[in-house]
Amino acid sequence: MDPERERTGRHLKKGRKRRRARNTLVGAAEARRARWDLEERQPEAKKARLSTILFAENCEVTHDQLCELLKYAVLGKSSVPKPSWCQLFHQNHLNNVVVFVLQGMSQLHFYRFYLEFGFLRKAFRHKFRLPPPSSNFLADITGLQKKQIMGDLSKMVEGSLPSAGSQVSINLQNDPIIQKYGSKKVGLTRCLLTKEEMKTFHFPLQGFPDCENFVPTKCNGSITDNSPLFGLDCEMCLTSKGRELTRISLVAEGGCCVMDELVKPDNKILDYLTSFSGITKKILNPVTTKLKDVQRHLKALLPPDAVLVGHSLDLDLRALKMIHPYVIDTSLLYVREQGRRFKLKFLAKAVLGKDIQCPDRLGHDATEDARTTLELARYFLKYGPRKIAELNLEALASRQELLAAGQELRNTAEIVYQPNTSVLECLDLMGQKLLFLTQEAETSELCSARNCQTIKCLSNKEVLEQARVEIPLFPFSIVQFSFEPFSPSLTEEMNKRMRIKWTEMSTIYAGPFSKTCNLRALKRLFKSFGSIRSMTLVLETHQPHLCIQYEVLEAAQLAIESLDGILVEGACIKVQRPVTELTLDCNTLVNELEQDSENRGTIYLSGVSETFKEHLLQQSNLFLGLEAVILPKDLKSGKQKRYCFLKFKTFGSAQRALNILKGKDWKLKGRHALTPRHLHAWLRGLPPESRRPPGVRVIPPPSEQQALQALKVDHPKIAAWRWGRKIGKLYHSLGPGTLCLILLPGTKSTHGSFSGLGLMGIKDEEESTTPNMCS
């Protein structure tokens, strides 16, 4: 046994003494550990530093959240709220902000050409997923889009406002309600959401991975225009497991409330959300009704052809953990322009002429809201789409928003405190300007913004040359490179191949085993390295082999490293991945993933128990530099899985912790991590239909082969390699204390949307915390 592992993995029993001569190896190990201890305990000099341990579970950061960070980087905590998703320490020690935008690229491009993006994956410790891009990505991340709207509103507030009753400017044929339903009256069945619409708007559906523990209402009768309607509304609180049900109200078509129950959540309540729900600790304390009781009652109450009506009903059904096939959602029934939705309070006043959710009342009344949605559905059915269109709801909503916005602007002493303040305004308050470098074809609002110095170039090469000269002269710079994206069909094919590749890399073949081998014992052995998706006995060979597909790449790699070439049940087995054109470079890819800056301080552990976290925190003195404990949960049962990830501040801390946790006291299996959290979240959503049996060939479309052979400069593979290096050189020329973001905005096409990717770091921090390899 390695002396370091032996020393850290064993503790002498109390009262027992033992003396032995110090050998040089043990002395060296202790010296190294003492050095690590000293490094961890030394006070840090004050300099800007990032932490992303507040990341959401899926590691997705919205454009608004990015804007939060950029504004905070400019003004600091005294003027704007702190970012909600990460921490920026010592903002006043930040010298510059530089944002590189790689237009035309996405998270898919980054991992398809992972080896080519050498500098980016090694230099930036913090990576996160971005949602698919909007029509104006740059305006969104700088807050300019919202500010433009607010500027227009402030001018319009003083002038004439559109009237809901004005018929002159209404073109009924362009109204979204008429475009969807036509102008004639429609029956109840026409108002139901289709299965495709329910899928688009995230309603719980049978057979979906995140709904496997949901209870169906068993309403499977034939629906007609005379089927009964039931208004439904739920109130929720925030618990340790997320949002959970605290009240349900169900109203029958005649307006009678047939169910109004308070519900006690199964998990610890963190926030009662009283301002919305009206629920308090005092109200909920005596309640004994549980979610399963409500589910049982609701199933018994609803007839087979019941139609549920609600406002954003998907949230209510998810809180109930129930699946119902026949729904009318009033937030979608009353269609609004550009996919926006009217609020229930607004529809109640504009359509029904009634006031609900009054400000002088504590929280919402679930019964009132349920009854209102029912009345809105009946109004739509009684009067038809034309009558709704004639109400000119869009104009009325705009009037209401304008008045509210005008009041907000008049009440504001300092614009910096407004959530709609743009990055440009923040810079203006500091007497500074934003630098925007882009190509001639760019039409973003940034180009014409008053407080922005825009320099348009003819090519990416010219953008790069100008950046070297101009960036040092500005405190905040946005540098945009534009790349020709793949065609939609090729992007979709590349997406499928990428996901198949990661599946195959997480699959191993092991054998040969004897024909009398103990399969139960073998499953236990392979399961000890991590969660198994599937295990298949291969009988095509002379002696049996096993094909094991693991849930995470780390488990497969650990099994290969631990079992390849050892004796198992009397036979020397070989453990390897399937050899296909997609896994030929997997050894190189695994080595590079291990060196990824985000993975360097993270370890993977298998065999952890439910009390592991408590045990770990009790002995926190052994694990200096521990930043986060990531405990994945089973989507079906909600139970903690038997593996986890520990994130440390430095590689040295991670290595030392790994040695301890693999020792005799903990008896865990583990290695350094290979999959960053945002990538793990992406791969976890792998659709079953995109997998293929290992060994089946996938030939790239000819267009990609030709592009690679021609080595076109604008091909994303070549661009990744070439521009990754060029941006790396530019990054090294930046001064210490520069907050740097690399944004791949994502892509949109007729074949679908692809998420973007963000990488960020502070130059001085990244260089000082990148550890040397430990011997």
Closest CA to 137 of 760, 757, 763, 773: 757
Pairing of strands 626-630, 602-606: unpaired
Is residue 693 within 8 Å of residue 538, measured between CB atoms?
no
Bond prior to 286 in cis (omega within 30° of 0): no
Close Cβ partners of 598 (under 8 Å, ≥ 6 residues apart): 124, 125, 126, 127, 676, 677
Q: Within 13 A of 26's CA, how many CA atoms are on the CB side?
A: 9
CA distance 308 to 230: 5
Give the integer Cα–Cα distance in Å for 590 and 672.
Answer: 11
Distance between CA atoms of 40 and 27, rounded to whole angstroms?
20
Nearest alpha carbon to residue 70 among 55, 54, 86, 56: 86
Evaluate whether residue 353 is within a structural domain.
Answer: yes
Report the distance separating Cα 319 and Cα 297, nearest Å. Answer: 15
22: helix, strand or coil: coil
Number of structural domains (the chain) is 3
Per-chain mean pLDDT for the chain: 80
The pLDDT tens digits for 592-649 are 998 888 888 899 999 999 889 888 888 888 898 888 888 888 777 778 889 999 988 8
Q: How is 648-691 classified by DSSP, letter by letter?
A: ESSHHHHHHHHHHHTSTTT--EEEE--S-HHHHHHHHT--GGG-
Which residue among 356, 390, 424 closes a domain? 390
User: How far apart are the C-alpha atoms of 369 and 135, rounded to whole Å?
Assistant: 34
> Cα(735)–Cα(373) distance, rounded to whole angstroms?
58
356: Cβ contacts below 8 Å, ≥ 6 apart: 344, 345, 348, 365, 368, 369, 372
> What does the longest C-alpha to C-alpha distance in the chain come to?
99
Give the residue from 455, 331, 460 showing the smallest Cα distance to 397: 331
Specify the length of the chain in residues: 775
Q: Name the stretches of the chain with pLDDT < 70.
A: 1-46, 52-58, 77-79, 145-171, 359-362, 401-419, 680-717, 719, 750-751, 765-775
> Coil, strand, or helix at residue 451?
coil
Give the CATH number, domain containing residue 640: 3.30.70.330
Same-domain check for residues 546 and 662? no
Distance CA 621, CA 584 (A): 43
Tell me if 37 is assigned to some domain.
no
DSSP per residue, 225-292: TTPPEEEEEEEEEEETTEEEEEEEEEEETTS-EEEEEE---SS-EEE--HHHH---HHHHTT----HH
Helices (H), 356-454: 366-390, 393-410, 423-429
Residues 561 and 618 in one domain: no
Paired strand residues for 359: none
pLDDT digits (tens, 9 = 90+) for 272-287: 888 888 888 899 999 9
One domain, residues 512 and 650: no
Amino acid identity at 447: C
| Residue (of 98, 89, 97, 81) closest to 48 by Cα position | 89
Distance separating alpha carbons of residues 59 and 678, to the nearest angstrom: 5
Residues linked to residue 476 through DSSP beta bridges, in sequence order: 97, 434
End-to-end CA distance of the chain: 16
Of 614, 645, 673, the residue at which a domain comes to its end is: 673
With respect to residue 333, please indicate whether it lies within any of the assigned structural domains: yes
* 361 lies in the same domain as 268: yes
CA neighbor of 380 nearest in space, from 433, 311, 444: 311
**Residues 343 and 236 grouped into a single domain:** yes
- Nearest one of 658, 676, 505, 655 to 593, comparing CA atoms: 676
Q: Give yes or no: residues 645 and 545 share one domain.
A: no
Look at the alpha carbons of 320, 322, 323, 324 in this order and tell me if their dihedral is positive or negative: negative
Tokens of 256: 């009678």
Query: Tell me, what's the pLDDT at 353?
Result: 87
Residues 277 and 203 in one domain: yes
**pLDDT over 90, % of the chain:** 37
In this structure, are 570 and 608 located in the same domain? Answer: no
Residue 509 domain boundaries: 499-576
**What is the model's pLDDT at position 436?**
94
Domain for residue 607, yes or no? Answer: yes
pLDDT of 744 reads 93
Q: How far is CA 740 from CA 78, 99, 125, 560, in A?
A: 22, 6, 12, 38
pLDDT score of 522: 93
The answer to whether residue 140 sits within a structural domain is no
- Residue finishing a domain among 362, 390, 418: 390
CA distance 4 to 13: 19
What sign has the CA pseudo-torsion 331, 333, 337, 342? Answer: negative
My answer on whether 615 and 529 are in the same domain is: no
Which pLDDT score, from 0 to 100, does residue 669 have? Answer: 95
Task: Kindly report the pTM of this predicted structure.
Answer: 0.57
> Residue 59: inside a domain, yes or no?
no
Same domain for 375 and 299, yes or no, is yes
d(CA 757, CA 774): 30
d(CA 378, CA 57) in angstroms, rounded, equals: 40
Shared-domain flag, residues 225 and 306: yes
* Angle between helices 651-661 and 24-41 in degrees, nearest 10: 130
Among the listed residues 676, 442, 453, 456, the one whose alpha carbon sits nearest the alpha carbon of residue 552: 676
Neighbours of 433 (CB within 10 A): 18
Helix axes of 488-505 and 702-710: crossing angle, nearest 10 degrees = 90
On whether both 551 and 608 belong to a single domain, the answer is no
* Predicted confidence (pLDDT) per residue in 146-193, tens digit: 555 444 444 444 444 344 444 434 567 778 899 899 989 999 999 999
Structure tokens, 68: 């939060």
Q: Residue 491's pLDDT is what?
A: 78
Q: What is the CATH number of the domain that holds 353?
A: 3.30.420.10
722: in domain: no
How far is 407 from 772, CA to CA, in rounded Å? Answer: 57
Q: What is the pLDDT of residues 308-335, one digit of tens each?
A: 999 999 999 999 999 999 999 999 999 9
- Distance from C-alpha of 368 to C-alpha of 249, rounded to nearest angstrom: 9
| Closest alpha carbon to 98 in 743, 772, 769, 744 | 743
Give residue-wise pLDDT tens across range 106-157.
Answer: 888 888 888 888 888 888 888 888 988 877 899 999 988 655 544 444 444 4
Phi, psi of 78 (to 5 degrees): -70, -20
Looking at residue 355, its pLDDT comes to 85
